[in-house]
Amino acid sequence: MPPIVKHLRYLKAILLDRRVWALGIVAGAVASYPMALGALGGHLVTSKASAKLGVSVEAQRASAGWGVLRLYGVVVGKDKGPLLTMDSLEIPFSALWGRSVVVADGPVAKLVRGGPGDNVSAILGRLHGASTGPATVKASASSLLSLLVKGGSFQFTDNRRGLSVTVGVVDGSWETGLRYHVEARQVSGRFGTHGSETSPAFGADSVTLEGILESLRPVGWPEASVREGYVRPLATLPLTGISGAIRPVATAKGSPARAFDLFFSGSYGGAKRALWTATGHLRPSIDSRAVEGTLSLRAERFSLDKIAEILPASVLEPENTEIDAAIEAKLEGRRVSFSGKLDVSGLSLLHEKLASEPINDLTLGVQVDGTVDLDKRLLVLNQAQGRLGSLAVGLSGSLELAQGTFRFKSGRELHYLPKLEAQLRVPRIACAKLLASIPAPIVPHLGGFVLQGFFEADLHTKIDFANLDALDLGGKVGIDGCQVVKAPAEVTALASEESLVQTVEVPPEPPGAGNTGVMTFIVGPDSPDFVPFAKISPHLINAIMTTEDSGFFKHRGWVSAVFKTALRRNIENDGFRLGASSITMQMVKNLLLSKEKTLSRKLQELFLVWYLEQILPKERILELYLNAIEFGPRLYGIGPAARHYFGKSASEITPLEAAFFSSILPSPKRRYVHYCHGALSPAWEKYLRRILTRMHERGRLTEEEYAAAIASTLTFDHSEMTLSEKQCLDWVHRITAAKPEVEAEADADSQ
């Protein structure tokens, strides 16, 4: 028989053998098992999860191994983001009847709560509803499941609370009914979901959480540790290098901890050395935001060079400055009581709002005591006591952020109504000690004064944004308890007939656009432009008093009611535009002080006004004021101003011309545009008429003078004009960095 026939018969026998067919069927079943059973299992798992969560759950593919189901490319909530993806999900078959571990590899969660992109609120509500059903006696197999997370990441945005958190890497385990352990690395977050760089922020290299599970729910407080964390409550105050732990207080075996101790240490602005500690014992409520306990913050004495990177440029020689601070807080529900101290030594500053010269080697201390009621949004300051040299200052009061909305005239809104009450006290102190306690660079023009007597002060204010009509500002400043034994020559010279030399910064000559220059002029009989009080038109005196200081001849330099009015208008206008300066204040500012807006200038101004009002007649104050103030670019004194604008002497100024001079203060450069145009705008004409009306109502114009003034027309003299109208306007625009025509109209309407 040919060999090929033998082979064919042998093959036939094999094919007809039932054992071979059985073996083939088994082999085929084994080969198709991962695909068939994986597809079926994957469909069951995803459909059940989708039904439970109420959102789509899909897997790109599924397979089954011996005793395990694996899903790959899992996507949860595909139609909304998605909110969760996983590289793979491994589910043991033993999950159907006993304890087992589900492994999630590479989960990426992007969760949003609140707002149009909310993808978790409905799911949480659905799960919460399911969990509130009747309890079963026997635990289901799912209650024995545990979860292992490997290499995940997490993003969460809570639009309701203005919170966003990102975790770069998450690993953890969730042993149902036992414990959970989560390690989060590359943590960052921010309060304020709009992502502003100035919003409070926090983060850490790593955060670890461990705690007890009751079924699937955490109970009690976790044990938490932080490594290299940071908190930035303010853009200029980063607390860095934070490390420490929260440890639950031990309880009876099996009982969850309801309180915890904490200990953290850290630094500021990236400094390597730990500069502060925070310790405490807290008992938060599980069901509310209330907290009971104590918290202690301590910043041991250290020199500011340790945090030089975050210090403002105004702090000089930080290596010579030392800080020592401590604060104790007691938490009772939603109420916090606090007390603390801050001691600073060797501080040197140079700040444009403080003084023009450096202030060196300051030593000061502050002690505070108060409470915060979070439910009432109320801060009560029982006492804040500050000390600088021999000078002690006490501040007390309260600040409440009441419900409501306040709208400024600018259109900006506050979504609460502040209510402030404050009292400032300066205990009785020798006037000489008071002056000596203030650093010399803050009061350089007071260095030649010798004082005797005693000073004390007691001031108060009440400001309720819901009722600004009830604004109160008052009290007593006991400066009259001081007597001047000796005064500097530059101050006493104002009482003599001597001429005073003034040097001022002026803009470049027209039509130039260069840097500011310096101009020197003389106030006194040595100047041909000087105008004695007797030769100044009374209409000018009356107009200036009407717009600048109506009670000039009655007060002693300032009137508290004017400060009150200015404060209210500044609040309504959302900024400090009105300074409530009297004529005496403006005279002092122009002749003795600079025009810089600093605390230094204001303190010296108030003292010099008090003194000069004692030694100068009111007429002399007005004479000095009107011969020294600015009436336009490069125009100082009423003599040159009357000649420039109207071609006449100061004694010949009419009521309407006087009203014009008073209207251009305190912005004479910007309001020079009227002279450029050669005529007033309709709005400014209306404003001048209002000034005339007020002068008449206050008895500063007779019926005849008022009628003639209202009927008259203002005419400028342009004999000194060397520019075209356009050149003049361009010049004003350059030196004021504004749009003069528009701003002048706006100012007229605001008066």
Q: Over the range 577-586, which residues count as b (16 or more CB within 10 Å of their CB) and which as e?
A: ebebbbbbbb
The answer to whether the beta carbons of residues 420 and 466 sit under 8 Å apart is: no
Mean pLDDT, rounded, for 92-115:
83
Mean pLDDT, rounded, for 441-463:
94
**Is the model's pLDDT at 18 over the cut of 60?**
no
pLDDT in tens, 145-201: 788 999 999 999 888 778 899 999 999 998 888 889 999 999 999 886 555 666 789
Instruction: Please say whether the structural domain 498-750 has been given the CATH code 1.10.3810.10.
Output: yes
More confident residue, 444 or 35: 444
Looking up tokens 């690993």 gives 171
The answer to whether the beta carbons of residues 303 and 321 sit under 8 Å apart is: yes
Query: How many angstroms separate the CA atoms of 394 and 390, rounded?
Result: 13
Sequence-separated (6 or more) residues with CB below 8 Å from residue 714: 656, 657, 660, 679, 680, 685, 688
- Any idea where the domains of the chain sit in the sequence? 498-750
Burial zone of 91 (CB within 10 Å; 0-12 exposed, 13-18 middle, 19+ buried): buried
Confidence bin at 680 (pLDDT 50/70/90): very high
Q: What is the structure's pLDDT at 50?
A: 83
The total of other beta-carbon atoms located within 10 Å of residue 631's CB is 22
Query: How many angstroms separate the CA atoms of 678 and 666, rounded?
Result: 21
**Is the model's pLDDT at 23 over the cut of 90?**
no
Q: What is the structure's pLDDT at 426?
A: 96
pLDDT in tens, 476-521: 999 999 999 999 999 999 998 889 999 998 888 887 656 678 899 9
